[in-house]
A and B are shown apart, each in its own frame.
Chain A
Amino acid sequence: DQQVKQNSPSLSVQEGRISILNCDYTNSMFDYFLWYKKYPAEGPTFLISISSIKDKNEDGRFTVFLNKSAKHLSLHIVPSQPGDSAVYFCAASARQGGSEKLVFGKGMKLTVNP
């Protein structure tokens, strides 16, 4: 049972345009959501996050939107740059068994073409 879903395995956009990465979740107990970026042969790096009490968080070119009623979040990258080409993981946090854990989606490969 996949609790965090990234249904599109890949996305290709032109440099300067907007990239929109989507993520859906099923567990209403998730209270915090994060996006990680991963380059080949490196570990994931934290990108941006949002609390479940908010619907938007912005950091430079990156904005995350949360729609709790739809159990959906999205990451917008504007403008997209070739260096943004990477695999992006959506993750959700919930307290289970007295401690907090992250549940990750399967990832989405973003390619930004010059």
Chain B
Amino acid sequence: NAGVTQTPKFRVLKTGQSMTLLCAQDMNHEYMYWYRQDPGMGLRLIHYSVGEGTTAKGEVPDGYNVSRLKKQNFLLGLESAAPSQTSVYFCASRLAGGVHEQYFGPGTRLTVT
């Protein structure tokens, strides 16, 4: 089992460019999440999905879009990148039901210049 994987690991964008971050999990988890981590801010939820074809907004959704076309994949899109989106992005997944633990990917470090 690879667990949760994220692509790419690093990326540098210019302001206004677009990109998609890919998250994949092979644990058959129903729920998937995208977080961003900034210095001194902890982890903040961007968007999440409770199943294939469903998405919902988290705490800081502005400037991002997501899609969950397949159960194992959760994509995070930046349509027009801004320097404020410079961050480390983490994807996580978990089983539905009474299980609370989320399993995290290794992260994507994004810099927007």
Binding site for B on A (CB under 8 A): 4, 9, 32, 34, 36, 41-46, 49, 89, 91, 93, 97, 99-102, 104-107
Contacts and interface: CB of A to CB of B under 8 A. Distances in A.
Interface of B: 4, 31, 35, 40-45, 48, 50, 56, 58, 90, 92, 100-107
Nearest to B109: A41
5 contacts: A42-B107, A43-B4, A99-B50, A104-B42, A106-B41
A3 to B, nearest CB: 10
Given A32-B100, A44-B104, A46-B102, A106 B42 contact: yes
Given A9-B40, A107-B42, 20 more contacts: A34-B100, A41-B107, A42-B107, A43-B92, A43-B106, A43-B107, A44-B104, A46-B103, A89-B42, A91-B43, A93-B100, A99-B31, A99-B50, A101-B45, A101-B58, A104-B42, A104-B43, A104-B44, A105-B42, A106-B41
